[in-house]
Amino acid sequence: MKLPILIVILCAFAQQLTANVSFGGPPKGLMIFVSLWNQTGDTPAQLSDRLNYICANHRYGSGQNQTIKSLLLSEIAYLDPNANVYENPPTANDILAWSYLEAILPFFPGGNGACNFEKVYIGTFGVGNGPDCSMYIDCITRPDYRDSMRLRQKKVVQEFANRVSQSSNPNVQWDWYISQEYSFEFTVYNNQTSNGYAEYISEQMIDFQNIRPDREYVWSPAWSYNPFVYADNDPTLQQIQRDFNRLFTQIQQSVKDSIPACQSNATCPFWLVPQDIVGSYSTCGRNITKETALRWMNLLRPHYPFQKMSLNVEQFKHN
């Protein structure tokens, strides 16, 4: 059966602030990623039933049934298939998946559902490749691509906020998710990629701040390769680490005047949650394991300027 949602479990480990990252014991809590990516399959009522099941069986449980604390809606709209990804200002007719979102609203903090998640994070969507560029590498370096995508996303989340205010759950709370993904090694192919992401993320954070201020911002990019191919002093690895730091330093400098909490790295509400890619790469032959994810965390964590960094543990395998 086709579903309108793609559910992935995120293990939200407590962040480690030391140079070496290690994980032990059960996760501190679980987060569900939900992507509203097509209009077939479950109805809004069936989606509500799934969330009621979580309330009854996993929301406040202990032991074997880990507590599911948070919900993340990574994509909340259906893209206009005929849109021009470079058009500014964009005229795309992207459609907010409101019937599904309205069914989920009671489970937001402050909602009237059977239970409430501690946090709900609202994303937008990605617009995909351009006719002559890859969305993850060179599209993002183009100002016209970045601006068109960001303005389309801003329009959708503003519509969401407006509809919430007129709904039967007008006082629900939510935080923000940056939907455009990335792989940290892509900077090796185009050293302007990290600059493009820094500009895009900074501007989107300011957009979100203007719609719903002083919230947390979550981003879940990834890595693509086995890190054990790099020695600690490998020049390629050093470039990845250097550009990783530069990316977040640029973000902090760009948003600090608009988001007061980001005037300091110690208080900026940015939560980096890299995907471990163990599940999504389970059939690609790259030998990605939990040990490779741990090595990437150990290689990158010392170069991350903000406080909150966890690991998105993919609890699935491809057939």
Structure tokens at 46: 């069936």
Least confident of 64-68, 134-138, 245-249, 267-271: 64-68
User: Is the pLDDT reported for residue 205 higher than 80?
Assistant: yes
pLDDT in tens, 206-221: 999 999 999 999 999 9
Q: CB-based burial of residue 2 (10 Å sphere; 0-12 exposed, 13-18 middle, 19+ buried)? A: exposed
Query: What is the predicted pLDDT for the residue at 6?
Result: 39
Q: Residue 309 CA to chain centroid, in angstroms? A: 13
> Do 89 and 96 meet the contact criterion of CB atoms below 8 Å apart?
no
Count how many residues are written for the chain.
319
Closest to 71 measured CA to CA, from 152, 9, 161, 20: 9
Alpha-carbon distance of 198 to 59, in angstroms, equals 36
Distant-in-sequence, close-in-space partners of 73: CB < 8 Å, separation ≥ 6: 34, 35, 36, 101, 104, 120, 121, 122, 123, 177
Least confident of 24-28, 118-122, 219-223: 24-28
β-pair type (77-78, 95-96)? antiparallel
pLDDT in tens, 159-176: 999 999 999 999 999 999
Mean pLDDT throughout 141-153?
97
Query: What is the predicted pLDDT for the residue at 284?
Result: 59
Q: Which residue has the tokens 């090595």?
A: 295
Query: What is the predicted pLDDT for the residue at 281?
Result: 61
Q: CB-based burial of residue 233 (10 Å sphere; 0-12 exposed, 13-18 middle, 19+ buried)? A: exposed
DSSP structure string for 110-133: T--SSS--SEEEEEE-----BTTB
Query: What is the predicted pLDDT for the residue at 227?
Result: 85
Whole-model pTM? 0.89
User: Is the pLDDT reported for residue 25 higher than 60?
Assistant: no
Closest to 104 measured CA to CA, from 26, 50, 145: 50
pLDDT above 90 covers a percentage of the chain that reads 63
Query: What is the predicted pLDDT for the residue at 82?
Result: 94
> Do 106 and 112 meet the contact criterion of CB atoms below 8 Å apart?
yes
Q: Which amino acid is at 173?
A: Q
> Do 88 and 146 meet the contact criterion of CB atoms below 8 Å apart?
no
Domains of the chain (ranges, CATH numbers): 7-309 (3.20.20)
Dihedral sign, Cα of residue 104, residue 109, residue 112, residue 117: positive
Mean pLDDT throughout 54-73?
79
Structure tokens at 197: 């992401």
